[in-house]
Amino acid sequence: MTNTLHRFGSAESFRDDFVVFAMCSKGRNDLDSLPKLKRFLELALPFKPVNLGDAIHGGALRPCRNMNPVSHWRRDATPDFQAVVDGLTGPTTVAAVFDNRVAAEDFVKAVKDADLGLSVNVSTSIDGAEQCCFAAGIPRHSVGYSLGFEGATAKLPGSKVMMLSTMCGHGMVSHSLAKKLIDWVREGRRTPEQAASYMTRFCSCGVFNPTRAARILAEAARGESQ
């Protein structure tokens, strides 16, 4: 089970969204896990992830306490991957997010070869996850499949808003923020990339995918449906 399981969208919408994360088991292999978790993140760097995550401290783009009203126009949006690696302080869940299948496949293979002794999960479309396992020469152990949303679904926001907000599995990217940034992109007040970087900072575990978000924002601004 993973908080990335309920990312909203069709299988095709995950063509640029691959989340690979690792965790240890409390009381079993957590005492010596810190160097292994750091190694997992370090292995991801050569494959050019779009985000790295530490469930305790956040991702490669983080909020800042020292802000003023004009900061948003000149803020550095360069992800600091090394800060995520160096910031690990204890057992946690770590993640690497990729925007293409080849990079994800190569990373999964590297993790398999490293044999870190950690539980590793790939979150994307089922076909995409199968391809990552196949490339690494391993069988899929199990699958978790989201059944979607039920109930009074007419009260849910539009599909593009849902696709953006559910990329943070802890609910830290609100529907209202997603709607606002879609409007800002449509009005030309922000580029899709700028708006995506804003939302990325709110994701407290670092699994938000800014590449997918920028694409969704651009599609929504053009009025395209899912």
The pLDDT tens digits of the residues spanning 9-37 come to 999 999 999 999 999 888 788 788 999 99
163 — pLDDT class (breaks 50, 70, 90) = very high
pLDDT (0 to 100) of residue 196:
96
Task: Tell me how far apart the alpha carbons of residues 156 and 148 are, in angstroms, rounded to a whole number.
Answer: 12
Q: Please tell me the pTM assigned to this model.
A: 0.93
Percent of the residues in the chain that have a pLDDT greater than 90, as a whole number: 73
pLDDT (0 to 100) of residue 197:
94
Is the confidence at residue 127, as pLDDT, over 70?
yes
Task: Tell me how far apart the alpha carbons of residues 218 and 38 are, in angstroms, rounded to a whole number.
Answer: 34
User: Please, which residues have CB within 8 angstroms of residue 165's CB and are 6 or more apart in sequence?
Assistant: 8, 157, 171, 173, 174, 175, 177, 178
Q: Per-residue pLDDT averaged across 146-157, rounded? A: 88
Paired tokens of 116: 């870190």
Domain boundaries, the chain: 11-145+152-221
Task: Tell me how far apart the alpha carbons of residues 195 and 102 are, in angstroms, rounded to a whole number.
Answer: 26
Is residue 167 within 8 Å of residue 213, measured between CB atoms? yes
Sign of CA dihedral 179, 183, 186, 190: negative
The pLDDT tens digits of the residues spanning 86-113 come to 999 999 999 999 999 999 999 999 999 9
Is residue 190 within 8 Å of residue 124, measured between CB atoms? no
Task: Tell me how far apart the alpha carbons of residues 196 and 168 are, in angstroms, rounded to a whole number.
Answer: 12
Q: Per-residue pLDDT averaged across 35-59, rounded? A: 96
Per-residue H/E/C for the chain: CCCCCCCCCCHHHHCCCEEEEEECCCCCCCCCCHHHHHHHHHHHHHHCCCEEEECCCEECCCCCCCCCCCHHHHCCCCCCHHHHHHHCCCCCCEEEEECCHHHHHHHHHHHHHHCCCCEEEEECCHHHHHHHHHHHCCCCCCCCCCCCCCCCHHHCCCHHHHHHHCCCCCCCCCHHHHHHHHHHHHCCCCCHHHHHHHHHHHCCCCCCCHHHHHHHHHHHHCCCCC
144 — pLDDT class (breaks 50, 70, 90) = confident
pLDDT (0 to 100) of residue 1:
57
- 141 versus 36: which is more confidently predicted? 36
pLDDT (0 to 100) of residue 73:
66
Q: Per-residue pLDDT averaged across 78-87, rounded? A: 95
